[in-house]
Amino acid sequence: MRRARFRRTRRAGAVTLVSALTLTALAACGTSSSDDGDNGDGNSANAEPAAPLDPKTKVTITIDCMPPAAKKAELKEWNEDVKEFNKTYPNVTVQGRSTPGQCLEPPRFTAMLKAKSQPDVFYTYFTDLDQVLDNDGAQDISAYVNDRTVPLLKDIDPDVLGSLKKDGKLYGLPTSNYRMGLLINRSLFERAGLDPDTPPATWEDVRAAAKKIAGLGGGVAGFGEYSAGNTGGWHFTAQMYSLGGEVVDSSGTKAAFDDAIGKQVAQNLHAMRWEDDAMGKTQLLKWGDLQKQIATDKLGMFLAAPDDVTYMVQQLGAKYENFGMGPIPGGKNTLAGGNNYMIKKGISPDKVKAAIAWLNFKFTTVGKGQYDWERTKADSLPVGLPQPNLWLNDSKTKDDAARQQFATMPVQNFKAFMDNPVPGKAEPPKAQEIYKVLDNVMSGILTNEDADIDKLLSTAETQVNQVLANQ
C-alpha cells in the first residue's frame, strides 16, 4: 500500500497486528546477510562524527519498509538505488526488510521499540518522536548531519526538520511531508457553476459552494467530514488551526478548543449539515469513506493531503484530471505531518554514517532516489503532486521544474494550493487520545440536529484535560 495510507492508518490508531517481518535479501543489489563472520560494524579510519563516511568502510545496515514484492515498480527503484549507491560506497551492504502488509502499525511499532528490536534504520512518523525517545530508541544524529553529509541540508524546510528535533537535538531525516488543503471534485464544481481553478478560500466560501454543489441533487454532498475512528478529531484540529486556534495550550497541559474559534468551527459544520443540508445524510465517516464519495462524483470537497489523489486513482479507478486543490480555508495555519527514518541508538558510528549516506541519497537529494521524476514516470508511477516537497530555495525551483516536465497529471489543478502556501502546524501532544475525544464533538454535531455545542465542547475539554494530565 502507498505511504499515505500507512500514515493515515497509524493516525487513526489501527489495531491489526501485521505478521512478523520478512527479511528480503537483495542479491541483485549487492545485498547480503552479515552473518558471515564479519559483524559489519565498520573499520573507518575517520571517527569524527561530522566527517562523511569513508567509501572504503565495510559496514552492513538493516533498513525497514523496503517496498514489498507486490509493489513491483517501487521495489525495482529501491534495487536500482541500492546499486547506484554502491557505486560510491561499494563496501556498504544495505539489507532491506519488508512486511507482508502495511509497513508499520501501532502495536507492532510499540512492541518493536520496547523490545529494542528495531533495525539500524527504522521508519517512523513525525508524531512518533516522543514515543521513540521515551523508549530510548533513536540516536541523536546532530553531530553527523551537516552540509558535507547532507549537501542540501540548508534547502530542507526547517519546519520539517523541526518535527524531528527535541531539545535542539536532531533524531531523524525526512522522507516525505504533507500539509492539508481543500481537495475538490472539478467536474462537480463546473456543474454547479463554480470555478475549479479558484477553490473556496474562507469557510464562508466553503459553505456557499457546498450549498450550490448539494443543489445538484442525486445524492451529491457539497462538503464532507469525518466523525469516527479518531479522524473526526484530527479534522476538527485542522479546522481549529485554519482559523488560528489551538487544540492544546502552549504549556501542553490544558485543552484550548472550548473558545470562540472552537464554537465557530462547530457552528459552521452544524449549519452546513442541518440548515443547508449540504453534507449528506450518511455520517460517522472515517478515512477512506470521503475518498470513495469524491472519486464517484458524490462529494464536492473535503480537507485532505495531496496524496489522497494517488490513492483514489490507483485504488478506486478515478482520474487525476477530475481533482484539484486549494489551500486550507481560513489560511492561518494548516495541520502538517510526514514520515522519516530514525537511526537505532547504540549502533556503531560507521553504521550511523552509512545510514545517513543512504538516506541522503535516497530521500534528500534533488534528482536522485525518490526525486528522480524521469524514472518515476517511466515506471508508470505518479508525478506532479505538490507533495512530498521538502525543499526551499534553488532546490525547490529545480524539483518543481522536474515535476512539471515529467508530470503524469495536470499539475495546474494544484496551482492554487502551490501558490498560496499556509504555515504548517504539528499535531498536538497525545494526538490520538485527543482525536478520540474530539470524535464525539464531530459526531454529535453531524448526527444530532439538536446538538448542544457548548456542552459537547465543555465535556470534551474536561476529558482532554484528563488525557493531558496523564502524560
Task: Give residue-wise pLDDT tens across range 100-123.
Answer: 544 667 778 888 899 999 999 999
What is the per-residue pLDDT for 44?
Answer: 53
- Going by pLDDT thresholds of 50, 70 and 90, the confidence category of residue 70 is confident
Model pLDDT, residue 43:
53
By C-alpha distance, which of 290, 263, 267, 314 is closest to 461?
263
Structure pTM?
0.82
Residue 190: burial class (beta carbons within 10 Å; 0-12, 13-18, 19+)? exposed
204-242 pLDDT per residue, tens: 999 999 999 999 999 999 999 999 999 999 999 999 999
Q: What CATH number is attached to the domain comprising 273?
A: 3.40.190.10
**Cell numbers describing residue 116:** 529494542
Q: Are 41 and 100 within one domain?
A: yes
The count of structural domains within the chain is: 2
pLDDT (0 to 100) of residue 20: 31
What percentage of the chain exceeds 70 in pLDDT? 89
Asked whether residue 144 falls in the same domain as residue 126, the answer is yes
User: Is the pLDDT at 3 greater than 50, yes or no?
Assistant: no
Q: How far apart are the first and last CA of the chain?
A: 33
Helices and strands (DSSP H and E) totals, the chain? 17, 12
Q: What is the DSSP letter of 97?
A: E
The pLDDT of residue 360 is above 90: yes
**Average pLDDT of the residues in 71-98:** 96
Q: pLDDT for 375-408, tens place per residue?
A: 999 999 999 998 888 999 999 999 999 999 999 9
pLDDT at 288: 95
Question: CA–CA separation, 152 vs 67, rounded Å?
Answer: 25
Are residues 398 and 349 part of one domain? yes
8 A C-beta contact, residue 119 and residue 97: yes
Per-residue confidence band for 125, with pLDDT thresholds at 50, 70 and 90: confident
In this prediction, residue 8 carries a pLDDT of: 40
Cell of 136: 530510548
- Residue 229 is classified by DSSP as T
Contacts of 47 (CB under 8 A, 6+ apart): 349
- Which residue type, as a one-letter code, is found at position 356? I
Cβ distance 257 to 417 under 8 Å? no
Residue 136 and residue 236 in one domain: no
> Domain ends where: 411, 434, 461?
411
Same domain flag for 324 and 249 = yes
- Taking only the tens place, the pLDDT of each residue in 173-204 is 999 999 999 999 999 999 999 999 999 999 99
Strand order in the sheet with 323-327: 301-304, 181-185, 323-327
Widest CA span in the chain: 72
Percent of the chain with pLDDT strictly greater than 90: 80
Q: DSSP class of residue 218?
A: T
Would you say the C-alpha torsion 155, 160, 165, 170 has a positive or negative sign?
negative
Residue 417 covered by a domain: no
Domain identity same for 227 and 346: no
Tens of pLDDT, residues 276-299: 999 999 999 999 999 999 999 999
Q: Is residue 280 part of a domain?
A: yes
Task: Please name which of 86, 62, 67 lies closest in space to residue 78, comparing C-alpha atoms.
Answer: 67
Backbone angles phi, psi at 150, to 5 degrees: -130, 85
Residue 250 lies in a domain: yes
Sequence-separated (6 or more) residues with CB below 8 Å from residue 123: 64, 65, 103, 104, 175, 339, 340, 341
Q: Which residues contact 281 (CB under 8 A, 6 or more apart)?
A: none
Q: Which residues pair with 59 in a beta bridge?
A: 41, 92
Q: Is residue 406, in this structure, part of any structural domain at all?
A: yes
What's the grid cell of residue 439? 470524535
List all residues 6 or more positions away from 350 whose beta carbon is below 8 Å from its beta carbon. 41, 42, 43, 44, 53, 57, 59
Instruction: Give pLDDT, residue 432.
Output: 86
| Burial grade of 178 (CB within 10 A; 0-12, 13-18, 19 or more) | buried
Cα–Cα distance between 191 and 209 in angstroms, integer? 12
pLDDT of residue 7: 41
Instruction: State the Cα–Cα distance between residues 404 and 408, nearest whole angstrom.
Output: 9
Range from 17-21, 44-48, 318-322 carrying the lowest mean pLDDT: 17-21
In a domain, 418, yes or no: no
Q: Which three cell numbers stand for residue 300?
A: 464536492
Same domain, 231 and 303: yes
- In angstroms, rounded to a whole number, what is the distance separating the alpha carbons of residues 17 and 107? 6
Q: Give yes or no for residue 17 having a pLDDT over 90.
A: no
Q: Give residue 51's domain range.
A: 3-178+338-411
Residue 425, beta-bridge partner list: 335
Displacement of CA 456 from its chain's centroid (Å) = 29
* Residue 9: pLDDT over 50: no
